[in-house]
Structure 1
Amino acid sequence: MIPAKINPISITPKREKGVESILDWFDQHKQSFYTLGWSFLRNQKQVEELFYRSIIKVHRELPRFKNESSFETWVTSIFIHTCRELSYDRSLQASEGIESRPVLFKALDQLKEDEKEAMVLTYVKKISQEETAKLLQVSVEKLKELLFSGIQSLRKEMGYGLHIGGCKEYRKDYIDYLERTLERSKKIEFEIHIYHCQDCQEDLASFQDVMLTMLNLTEKMEDFHVPSDFIENVKAMLAEKEKNKQLKIRKRMRLGMVLAGVFALLMGNEVVTGAFKSLYYTMTEKNQELRAFLQQGLGERLNLQAESDGVKIKIKSAISDEFQTLVFYEIEDTDEDNQYVMNIDEGVSVENQNEIMNGSANPRYYPPDLKSEVNIKGKNVYQGKISLPPISKDKGTIKLKITKLLKLIHDSSNRNRLRVSDNMEYKTGEWNFEVPVTKQRSVEYALDGEKEVEGIPVRFDKLTIAPTATILQYSIKNDQLKKRIDALSFDNLVVNNKKMKPDLYGGSFLNPLQDMNWSTFQINFGPIFGEEPKEVNVQLQSINLTIENKKTIELDAAKKYPQTFEYAGSTISIDKLEVGVSTNMVISNHEVKNRAYESLQFDIIGENENHPDSIEMESEGVLVDKNGVIYDMNVTPFSYEEIEQPRYYVTVQRMKLQNNNTGKKMIPKRMEINGYNTTRYLDDVVKISLE
């Protein structure tokens, strides 16, 4: 029978401690979370990134932890959510195209997302069914259905075939019976039926085989090696975050800056009944973006104020819809000539977030507005906005708490250039607000547009015009084995002759419950006020593709290296293959002109058809812009933001292969290339009429 599962340990760190205490906690629990991360992700770098992001989020959300579940379960929920984000993070996957995980993890990849999460949390993380159901926000009965269908799918992968021979009314009891949780009366009835039904006997036996195999493999995962430098690498990432925060803010600011010029168009579109309101706000509100919302009646002036240590914060207004809550603010230093900005990642929290806000929605990122005339000319005043999650009710009051502000300075060489202070200086204090908000209405329009891109259908499903954004929902049909679209980029969206640029931080993967051959996404553009769309033009920019192109390269450590082979029109060099306690392998291709691939997807197979237990990989590469100009990231000084549609080509991949569990040397016998990633530029325009 199946052994009972282990419930998670409940440990709650002291809230007054910082990121270091969270890192220490993860260090103590690294084995189970490391294995959990590998269940979803493809390589070591992604798992390190997963730990790094999870630690940051746990630290940020810690004030809202209310002991309603164990601390470990609460952390696991954040960890799983971060896994989902990284699973669809193109930047991490594009430069790391190798999959080097144990067989069980690869088998789990064949499952549907909800089945996989249910299986991993229940059998890999060994969380109770009740806690797992709570984490996945489903009922226990629904969880059992997911576990059952997941095991059925694995059963197919293990060669039992598609046929299910057991009686339908008894299949629902398989898991409870095998886990010895089936109540006595049902157990007796079940065993009597099984005794007389050979089909159910055979069906239950194969089901149990798969379940036992799953548990046996996951028990071995407890010895799944965590590299000795793993936590140190995560710690270095945290240190780098603190050290280079200024550079990151600059980069995000330049990439994410969305001009508010569209609001100037409103002046020519006022109806008579709104003329007085328009004139009033034109004369009294300097913030052009906020002025447009107020003129449309989408918010109201609040002028809430709080002061701490000579710094006064004013909440000017808040506009909420189903996608986000925009909070417009002004910060004034009443004692000195300093300017400060709110940083949503640090020092900003909503004390009643669980009660009033949609917990499944992520706030959008808006970089500091360092180019507005008001802020450039100001000496002690800054005007800005932050995005919070949307409210879950029609009306409510947000309990907003500010404890830290980021300092801005004027460049000494150019007084008209505002930037973040060199040493990331902060102003601490406590500013508390009760902000009333009303959720504004959004309007959805069904679209009927479809276009083939590289032979793959792309469907445009829906346009949503919300007060704070215009959202385009689209789907990609990825049922081809030879080619699939991993990411689609847009140049602009034109609605009724008004052009909007995409929000680089406003896209997301939706995965609604519909045809599994289609993957559904949404991308955010700027807002359009009072518009009823008649025609929508979508300008495509580029796609990132995965191309299946299989090739097997035989490896022999006894040969002298380098050795070369041909693939996808390129000559690739195996520079090194040295077998030892750790087997070192290096492949390279420095020729990127007209190269078909940007990164490879491959596996290394050893003796007895085994895969290495772990692969540590480092890569080097260059950026190539749309015009073919090459930028060496280690040599050539350049500004990434100024490169036109850059592509990242991997030129060198260094691998360290180990058999940690067996203790035997990893002797590579062949390299199996499954395919490659590449980017194609587009100039297609999709025209969709709504009339």
Structure 2
Amino acid sequence: MIPKIDPISITTIKEKDVESIVDWFDQHIQSFYTLGWSFLRNQQQMEELFYRSIIKVHKELPRFKSETSFETWATSIFIHTCRELSDGRSLQASEESEQQKDVFKALDQLKEYEKEAMILTYVKGISKEEAAHLLQVSVEKIKELLFSGIQSLRKEMGNGSHFNGCKEYQKDYIDYLERTLDRSKKIDLEKHIYQCQDCQVDLATFQDAILTMLNLTERIEDLHVPSGFMENVKDRLAEKEKRRQQKNKKRLRKGLVFAGVFALLIGIDFFTGAFSNLYYNWTEEDQELRAFLQQDLGKMLNLEAESNGVKIKIKSAIADGVQTLVFYEIEDTEEDNQYVMDYFDGVFVENEHEIMSHEGYQGYYPPDLESDVNKEEKNVYQGKMSLLPLTTNNGTIKLKITKLHKLIRDSSDRNGFRGYDNMEYETGEWNFEIPVTKQPSVEYALDEVTEVEGIPVRFEKLTIAPTATVLQYGINIEQPEKRIDGLNFDHLEVNNKKVKADRYGRSFVETHHVGKWATFQTHFDPIFAEKPKEVKVQFNSVYLTFEEQKTIELDANQEYPQTFEYAGSRISIDKVEVGQPTKVVISDHEIENRSYETLNFQIVGEDENEISSMEMSTEGVLIDKNGVEYDVNENPFSFEEIEQPRYFITVQSMELHNENTGEKVIPKRLEIYGYNATKYLDDVVNISLE
């Protein structure tokens, strides 16, 4: 059982603030270092673990309640931080003995809660009751986790690949070995083991696994805390405090300047529409949000929530029949980190089914790395996120956020960011209730038909909403030998005003049209207060699928590479190698004037059902409209800045498996049934609405 810290120590910690928390961790350094090493085993991450844990304990100290011990409470925060840092990280360690490495490696293969139960019980050495409290599960659940963890551990450590003990008795192994089993159950188990050889072997190997864990605990003093470890943590905390004081001074100066300007505006009695316009010009840095506010399409909310030193502000929400845009600001109050939201990872609308339409549009907006505030402020990010449209005219969005994505700075990137590569996260809990009012949209019926690469395209509807301008169109699908899989627009021109197309804003629309037409929508930037008289549609490119069949016989006994002609190109079969798995490689490195970008094909074996799975990896080259090549594996570039990119696949490597029989796959035919290609367009279609 973890001993409770005496009340005098708690009082001292609260009075001396963060310095006393550092001292407390220093006094318990061996115990917590061992616990952290069981998760991370990387010196740099261990320093980060103690640094974050001390900050979180200090921040949460006012919420500490004396019903539990201080050490238990601090350990729960420490464990939570271990989870954050160990998620998706590689573990490399050189400070362990070979036996320790084997045990730690085996622990890494366990499920999260199994591993934590094992570490807390056998490495940290606390009781099952205390472990249950830390992991917020029942004591019986802890026993289940220990049993399943030990089962997995002995498999990983090579103590037998299968265990034939009787399941109805296995649940009592732990209590029996720890001599806490009820006497009647103990007698029953011993009688059974005496007669059952399988259970004798099973219990013996189970006991060996527990002894291995206990021996690790006895040898744990060999895992020394490096000299200067806590001094490094203290230096980081001192630097953090210095930055915090500097930021507070900067905020104070900004606040005094703004207060003077605001007082001047009030003093000259600027209570008109002009005041509202000028007010937002002064106060709102986000130009897009400022435009919505100036058009009276929303209002400033400035709802705030903070968790783990990260403050989220919901600045405003603009809703219409197309989508609901949420404008937010995220500030790291303790370090120079920038975070963004991803609705599909850690962001939830808890009452989505009650107030939102699942037939609506939910846009994707990549991080805006070019805005002044996102480039100047290293610890602040301003962004927007799209949610589904409302089903009612008014509502309250219950937004819950549990994970934020960290933007990683990288000097090799022209924008100063590495974006979503090697993503790190910040977890916590931020809850908001966001009031929203749905703004009206106007729809205009269209009746215009044109042709793109010989395929009819008809324009059906134009929707002008506050958050987007939406063009709905149909594509004829009667020609099987050639079809349009993607139609891209450059811009719309409405009443001589151009609005750019959203490159991520194309979506399929479920309609009741039968057979001939598939309906799509493309989103463009919003047009405020416009009643269209004429619409000009500027095309950009079209992505086509061509059906052109060709069969090439394969023979693993022949020598490769071999070539064949297809779609005006010479394609090479580089490898046909039978094995476990069977490998086939095809390539075409000549991309100048190549008519296709990707091939659509399959590999067929001797038996038509012989291939049950095919794993494929590809290599390729990205080319812009002017023929400039971009190697996606080498020089950094911004995909957003490439003009009309095309991706040519140059190598396709396949691994073929027969998972039904386990036999080797014998490839017999390469069956090509079509290819894809992008065509650039510069056509303009004029549509009159009068």
What is aligned with 1:645?
644
Q: Map 1:42-53; keep pairs closer than 5 Å.
A: none
Q: Does 1:518 align with 2:507?
A: no
What is aligned with 2:124?
none
| Contact map agreement 2:600 2:672 (CA 8 A) in 1 | yes
Take 1:664 and 1:461, find their aligned partners in 2: how far apart are those partners?
A: 54
What is aligned with 1:296?
295
Deviations 1:456-486 (A, max 9, x none): 1111111111111111111111211211111
| Contact map agreement 1:371 1:417 (CA 8 A) in 2 | no
What is aligned with 2:40?
none
Gaps of 5+ in 1: 1-15, 24-272
What is aligned with 1:654?
653
Question: What's the offset of the Cα at 1:533?
Answer: 1.1
What is aligned with 1:574?
573
| Contact map agreement 2:413 2:637 (CA 8 A) in 1 | no
SS at 1:595 equivalent = coil
SS at 2:369 equivalent = coil
What is aligned with 1:668?
667
| Contact map agreement 1:401 1:433 (CA 8 A) in 2 | yes
Take 2:385 and 2:521, find their aligned partners in 1: how far apart are those partners?
A: 21
Q: Does 1:483 align with 2:450?
A: no
Take 1:637 and 1:414, find their aligned partners in 2: how far apart are those partners?
A: 6
Q: Does 1:536 align with 2:553?
A: no
Aligned-pair Cα RMSD in Å: 3.7
Corresponding letter in the other structure for 1:657? L
Q: Map 1:393-432; keep pairs closer than 5 Å.
A: 393-405=392-404, 428-432=427-431
| Contact map agreement 1:322 1:390 (CA 8 A) in 2 | yes
Corresponding letter in the other structure for 1:689? S
Cα 1:665–1:499, aligned 2, differ >3 Å: closer, same or farther? same
Corresponding letter in the other structure for 1:484? R
Deviations 1:472-522 (A, max 9, x none): 111111211211111111222221122122222222111312132211111
Corresponding letter in the other structure for 1:317? S
What is aligned with 1:618?
617
Task: Give aligned-pair identity as a percent.
Answer: 67
| Contact map agreement 1:472 1:524 (CA 8 A) in 2 | yes
Take 1:528 and 1:623, find their aligned partners in 2: how far apart are those partners?
A: 33
Take 2:668 and 2:339, find their aligned partners in 1: how far apart are those partners?
A: 59
Question: What's the offset of the Cα at 1:445?
Answer: 0.9
Take 1:340 and 1:587, find their aligned partners in 2: how far apart are those partners?
A: 42
Take 1:414 and 1:651, find their aligned partners in 2: how far apart are those partners?
A: 26
Q: Map 1:589-604; keep pairs closer than 5 Å.
A: 589-604=588-603
What is aligned with 1:438?
437
Take 1:649 and 1:413, find their aligned partners in 2: how far apart are those partners?
A: 25
SS at 1:504 equivalent = strand
What is aligned with 1:454?
453
| Contact map agreement 1:376 1:418 (CA 8 A) in 2 | no
| Contact map agreement 1:658 1:666 (CA 8 A) in 2 | yes
Q: Map 1:75-114; keep pairs closer than 5 Å.
A: none
Take 2:399 and 2:294, find their aligned partners in 1: how far apart are those partners?
A: 25
Take 2:433 and 2:540, find their aligned partners in 1: how far apart are those partners?
A: 43
Take 1:634 and 1:379, find their aligned partners in 2: how far apart are those partners?
A: 28
Gaps of 5+ in 2: 1-79, 89-271
Corresponding letter in the other structure for 2:399? L
Question: What's the offset of the Cα at 1:377?
Answer: 4.3
What is aligned with 2:277?
278
Question: What's the offset of the Cα at 1:566?
Answer: 1.6
Q: Map 1:88-237; keep pairs closer than 5 Å.
A: none
Cα 1:421–1:662, aligned 2, differ >3 Å: closer, same or farther? closer
Take 2:586 and 2:378, find their aligned partners in 1: how far apart are those partners?
A: 55
What is aligned with 2:467?
468
Deviations 1:597-624 (A, max 9, x none): 2222223334365563322222222223
Take 2:595 and 2:473, find their aligned partners in 1: how far apart are those partners?
A: 27
Corresponding letter in the other structure for 2:684? V
Cα 1:608–1:688, aligned 2, differ >3 Å: closer, same or farther? same
| Contact map agreement 1:598 1:650 (CA 8 A) in 2 | yes
Take 2:84 and 2:426, find their aligned partners in 1: how far apart are those partners?
A: 19
| Contact map agreement 1:391 1:439 (CA 8 A) in 2 | yes
Deviations 1:96-125 (A, max 9, x none): xxxxxxxxxxxxxxxxxxxxxxxxxxxxxx
Cα 1:373–1:627, aligned 2, differ >3 Å: closer, same or farther? closer
Q: Does 1:685 align with 2:684?
A: yes
SS at 2:293 equivalent = helix
What is aligned with 2:551?
552
Work out which structure has the larger RCO, using CA pairs closer than 8 Å and 6 or more positions apart in sequence.
Answer: 1
Alignment length (residue pairs): 427
| Contact map agreement 2:499 2:527 (CA 8 A) in 1 | no
Question: What's the offset of the Cα at 1:452?
Answer: 0.9
Corresponding letter in the other structure for 2:465? A
Corresponding letter in the other structure for 2:527? I
Deviations 1:37-76 (A, max 9, x none): xxxxxxxxxxxxxxxxxxxxxxxxxxxxxxxxxxxxxxxx
Question: What's the offset of the Cα at 1:592?
Answer: 1.5
Question: What's the offset of the Cα at 1:387?
Answer: 2.2
SS at 2:595 equivalent = coil
Question: What's the offset of the Cα at 1:574?
Answer: 2.1
SS at 1:390 equivalent = coil
Q: Does 1:328 align with 2:327?
A: yes
Cα 1:417–1:463, aligned 2, differ >3 Å: closer, same or farther? same
What is aligned with 2:267?
none
SS at 1:503 equivalent = strand
Deviations 1:167-216 (A, max 9, x none): xxxxxxxxxxxxxxxxxxxxxxxxxxxxxxxxxxxxxxxxxxxxxxxxxx
What is aligned with 1:178?
none
Question: What's the offset of the Cα at 1:540?
Answer: 1.1
What is aligned with 2:587?
588
Take 1:470 and 1:400, find their aligned partners in 2: how far apart are those partners?
A: 26
Corresponding letter in the other structure for 1:575? D
Once structures 1 and 2 are overlaid, which stretch shifts more, 383-392 or 676-685? 383-392
Cα 1:322–1:562, aligned 2, differ >3 Å: closer, same or farther? same
Take 1:303 and 1:340, find their aligned partners in 2: how far apart are those partners?
A: 18
Cα 1:274–1:518, aligned 2, differ >3 Å: closer, same or farther? farther
Deviations 1:322-360 (A, max 9, x none): 222122234456667766544434443322222222244
Deviations 1:235-292 (A, max 9, x none): xxxxxxxxxxxxxxxxxxxxxxxxxxxxxxxxxxxxxx96564345445544332222
Cα 1:360–1:19, aligned 2, differ >3 Å: closer, same or farther? farther
SS at 1:524 equivalent = strand
Question: What's the offset of the Cα at 1:532?
Answer: 0.9
| Contact map agreement 1:370 1:419 (CA 8 A) in 2 | no
SS at 2:353 equivalent = helix
Take 1:652 and 1:580, find their aligned partners in 2: how far apart are those partners?
A: 20
What is aligned with 2:385?
386
SS at 1:674 equivalent = strand
Question: What's the offset of the Cα at 1:369?
Answer: 3.5
What is aligned with 1:144?
none
SS at 2:354 equivalent = helix
| Contact map agreement 2:477 2:515 (CA 8 A) in 1 | no
What is aligned with 1:264?
none
SS at 1:289 equivalent = helix
TM norm structure 2: 0.55
What is aligned with 2:316?
317
Once structures 1 and 2 are overlaid, which stretch shifts more, 435-444 or 501-510? 501-510
Corresponding letter in the other structure for 1:481? P
Question: What's the offset of the Cα at 1:673?
Answer: 2.0
Cα 1:687–1:556, aligned 2, differ >3 Å: closer, same or farther? same
| Contact map agreement 2:464 2:527 (CA 8 A) in 1 | yes
Take 1:320 and 1:562, find their aligned partners in 2: how far apart are those partners?
A: 59
Take 1:344 and 1:503, find their aligned partners in 2: how far apart are those partners?
A: 18
Cα 1:614–1:381, aligned 2, differ >3 Å: closer, same or farther? closer
Corresponding letter in the other structure for 1:515? V
Take 2:468 and 2:414, find their aligned partners in 1: how far apart are those partners?
A: 33
SS at 1:458 equivalent = strand
Question: What's the offset of the Cα at 1:593?
Answer: 1.4
